Amino acid sequence: MKMHGLGNDFVVIDARAQSLEMTESLARALGDRHRGVGFDQLAVILRTDSIADAYLKFYNSDGSTAGACGNATRCIARYLMDETGDELLSLETEHGILFAKDMGDQITSINMGHPDLNWQEIPLSQNIDTLELPIDGSPTATGMGNPHCTFFVGDVDAIDLETQGPAFEHHPFYPERTNVQFAQVVGTDHIRMRVWERGVGVTLASGSSSCATAVAAARRGLTGRTVRIDLDGGTLHIDWRDDGVWMTGGTMHVFSGTLTQSFLDSLQ
């Protein structure tokens, strides 16, 4: 299936009924926008023996794995809710079990769990203050299943993401690389944000990045804990509560299809 959340696009494979051996090379081939399907992230839905309704595995377009993907999780939650008629469900990820809720009018809310604020959990390469890293621009480090590096700037649209993004994605402080956000505080409950995702590049939106940015802004006293975040692809609503960071927004299931045998054979 092809899905997107605010233009952050995904290939989603439902592998609950049959086994699937996903490899780095297959993920890269599917992610090729000219010779494959094209995506920011690939998500595979698997059966689970836990209390969750399904297990989700994520891959970036370069074939590397991702611990979490908020927008894809929201898309899959919507798909499973439409399938079952349930208004509440749980999805197991590398970041833990995430809970989803149907908000009506095809709007879905996901609890992305508690943010990681300790340098070892994010992870960073050394014991440094995660609120203001000793990097030019003093970004904030946050873990939301993926590592994040958030810069607060005066004019987010003046940032050259193609240059700045990869420079910080590979910063030595981040041994597993990092997603990079540039955020402009519009008001105490409003942020404008753009994102560079590790293993992908510039994306129109990112759910985990939005959660990390909201947490970073609240920690620094720039906003409250409930904010609207305007991304290049649309708007998400983030609420950092006692039980975790809730992300709410719309999704779209674009089409369902079948990979041809000739395409799969070409990868051998």
Q: Over its length of 268 residues, how does the chain's per-residue pLDDT go in tens digits?
A: 999 999 999 999 999 998 888 999 999 999 999 999 999 999 999 999 889 999 999 999 999 999 889 999 999 999 999 999 999 999 999 888 999 999 999 999 999 999 999 999 999 999 999 999 999 999 999 999 999 999 999 999 999 999 999 999 999 999 999 999 999 999 999 999 999 999 999 999 999 999 999 999 999 999 999 999 999 999 999 999 999 999 999 999 999 999 999 999 998 7
Q: 70-84 vs 207-219: helix axis angle to the nearest 10? A: 120
Residues 6 or more apart in contact with residue 63 via CB below 8 angstroms: 24, 25, 27, 28, 31, 199
| Residue spans per domain, the chain | 2-112+251-265, 140-242
| Alpha-carbon gap, residue 11 to 40, rounded angstroms | 8
Select 140-242's CATH number: 1.20.1250.20, 3.10.310.10, 3.40.50.300, 3.40.50.2300.
Answer: 3.10.310.10
**What string of DSSP letters covers 112-165?**
--PPB-STTTTT-SS---SSS-SSTT--EEEESSSEEEEEE-S-GGG--HHHHH
Comparing 2-112+251-265 with 140-242, is the CATH topology the same? yes
- Using CB atoms within 10 A of its CB, is residue 242 exposed (0-12), middle (13-18) or buried (19+)? exposed
Tell me the CATH class for 2-112+251-265.
Answer: alpha beta
- Using CB atoms within 10 A of its CB, is residue 142 exposed (0-12), middle (13-18) or buried (19+)? buried
